[in-house]
Structure 1
Amino acid sequence: MIAAFSVAPSGTGRSDGSVHDAVAAAVKVVRDSGLPNKTSSMFTEIEGEWDEVFDVIKRATEAVAPFGSRISLVIKADIRPGYEGELEGKLVRLESAVHDLES
């Protein structure tokens, strides 16, 4: 499965509203997990088996807790049994399809 998630604290007390320190703590948990992952400006994607992916998301959420009084967590999952390497594979197929349309 691939899960895309976004986790951020609120009630941080920061005047600029920035949550980058909290997000960095969550991303470190994901990267340290050893599972395939990517982070963009809005979401972190992680690939693996259901239990291991959700364990990492839980630990990433817990890493954000010290940074605020509340936590917002958004998760979107693509569950496709029997497939691995889809974090990259889906993009390869997409780019090929775009290329075919441009030709």
Structure 2
Amino acid sequence: MLLAFSVAPSGAPSEGSRSDDASVHDAVAAAVRIVRESGLPNRTDSMFTTIEGDWDEVFDVVKRATEAVGRYGSRVSLVIKADIRPGYEGEMTAKLDRLEGALSEGS
């Protein structure tokens, strides 16, 4: 499965958070750190982090990342989009390879 997620705190910053401004980079960094330490294939862009693995391991990482972000506010917003395709691995790059192939064929 490929799972793209975005997680961010909202509400009043919790005690001990490092920032009083509207930026959420410290909270997002806490989530991304958990993703990267998981060992699952992953990619982070400006809007989402995508991870690849089986159902249980992917959702375990999302849960831990969400809990880490929760320390930065009184609420957490979580957006998830999943591509569940049993029997396939390496789709994080394979899907892009197929797209690039289609684009070059159409030139």
How large is the RMSD of aligned CA atoms in angstroms? 1.1
2:16 maps to what in 1? none
Structure 1: gaps (5+ residues)? none
Query: 2:104 aligns to what?
Result: 99
CA–CA distance in structure 1, aligned partners of residues 20 and 32 of structure 2? 23
Alignment of 1:1-103 (within 5 A): 1-13=1-13, 16-102=21-107
- Structure 1 residue ranges (4+ consecutive) displaced by more than 4 angstroms after TM superposition: 12-15
Amino acid at match of 1:33: S
> What is the CA-CA distance between 1:16 and the residue it aligns to?
3.3
SS in 2 for 1:35: coil
Q: Distance in 2 between matches of 1:31 and 1:38?
A: 9
CA drift at 1:11? 1.5
1:35-92 alpha-carbon deviations (Å, 9 max, x no partner): 0000000000000000000000000001101100100000000000000000000000
Q: TM-score, normalised by structure 2?
A: 0.92
Secondary structure (helix, strand or coil) at the match of 1:83 reads: coil
Identity %: 72
Aligned residues: 102
TM-score (norm 1): 0.95
- Aligned-partner SS, 2:87: coil
Aligned residue for 1:4, secondary structure, equals strand
